[in-house]
Structure 1
């Protein structure tokens, strides 16, 4: 796979997240994948990640990620700044979170590792 294909896979992951398609998202992860979020902690293994996402999307059914640019980093990695918005259905509170996400892929194109870092509001082009 080349850099553009990794970027396209990262874009697909965000698109599926915006659609809340947890079945398709789960298929994108390697069985041994690791997901670390400064907001939610660390999850190891495809099923653990899927369970965390089911819980998250249960609370934020309208979650949406805005991303304007995807950048290749390191070997088989893609990073992007994001703004996540949604409503916590248990409290009715609107949430807006900013972050930097890094996705690393296996040679076969499955997600092997995700790292989500807190960040200041990104300066997207208007």
Structure 2
């Protein structure tokens, strides 16, 4: 499980850099300022959570069910949150906004909140 989390964390970090460059250079001409800001938010959240996933995979054994749930929530949340924002921004710039992606973003955010909440709970539980 640790190796898988490390690989996914590295892949999310790598793709965040690629999407960041893509947004800064290629999409700058086609996205509105608001769309570009949203796209950058997706990139930032993706990178933050890629680093968190890597840090956790280096520091936790990822053998308990709560540790696995933390990682799963962070991975699923990052993908749903960031990639739905990318899809919304890119399709909106072409005048064909995929409205079905609208509810996916907050669902991804909910997974991220749950992942962070489980992480907090796991640390508190281990302190007591």
Same fold, TM exceeding 0.5?
Answer: no
The structure with the greater share of residues assigned to strand is: 1
The structure with the greater share of residues assigned to helix is: 2
TM-score band w.r.t. shorter chain: 0.3 to 0.5
Name which one, 1 or 2, has greater alpha-carbon Rg: 2
Q: Structure 1 length normalisation: TM-score? A: 0.33
Q: Structure 2 length normalisation: TM-score? A: 0.32
